[in-house]
Amino acid sequence: MPELVFFSGTMDCGKSTLALQIAHNRSARGLEGLIFTRDDRAGEGKLSSRLGLVTDAVEAGPGFDLYGHVVDRLQRGGRADYVIADEAQFLAPEQVDQLARVVDDLEMDVYAFGITTDFRTRLFPGSQRLIELADRVETLQVEALCWCGARATHNARTVGGVMVVEGEQVMVGDVAHQPDEIGYEVLCRRHHRKRMTGATARAGALSPDVLPVGSA
């Protein structure tokens, strides 16, 4: 039976890489997919991996009808055997409903990939709706690591290397950024709670000892 599957995890856990791998494997078997994305780091209409892999995709911006797009493609004589939706956390809840309708009415598998929570540790609306509707929710097993070496479970937004917890939910940035730019970093819960990024940890290590060190 066709399924709506939500692959979730933090940044750097290989979501886009897996999306590209699924597309490759099915293409090698003669299947043709339709790929949607939203606000990818490589630009509009692209699905890219941090490993450097990239492919064309359909940009699913605000108000875009994903179900209608699939139906229109089929009515025009096009083919679609499955659907991939990357950066699915940015989709509106009604767009996630459209993906579920693709599964139920058009009997296609839909594979959605996205971050579960934002930099404030709150669910993205798109991810929340996917959790509510998906036939399966898969947590990716490639563990992203905090700067301390522990398993990263939270996404942090930084400005000039300093973690922030206020602001718009969606702002374009990346893990490879200039010191004074908006960036993102994955942290363990302990260091997210303490707002301690890799940059602030290095700064702390370079600071003078807070307690006097006496001579022997």
Instruction: Name the residue type at position 124.
Output: F
For the record, the structure tokens of 209 come out as 């000892």
State the Cα–Cα distance between residues 38 and 214, nearest whole angstrom: 57
Q: Which of 25, 53, 176 lies closest to 111 in space, CA to CA?
A: 25
Helix 93-106 vs helix 66-75: crossing angle, to nearest 10: 40
Residues acting as catalytic residues: 87
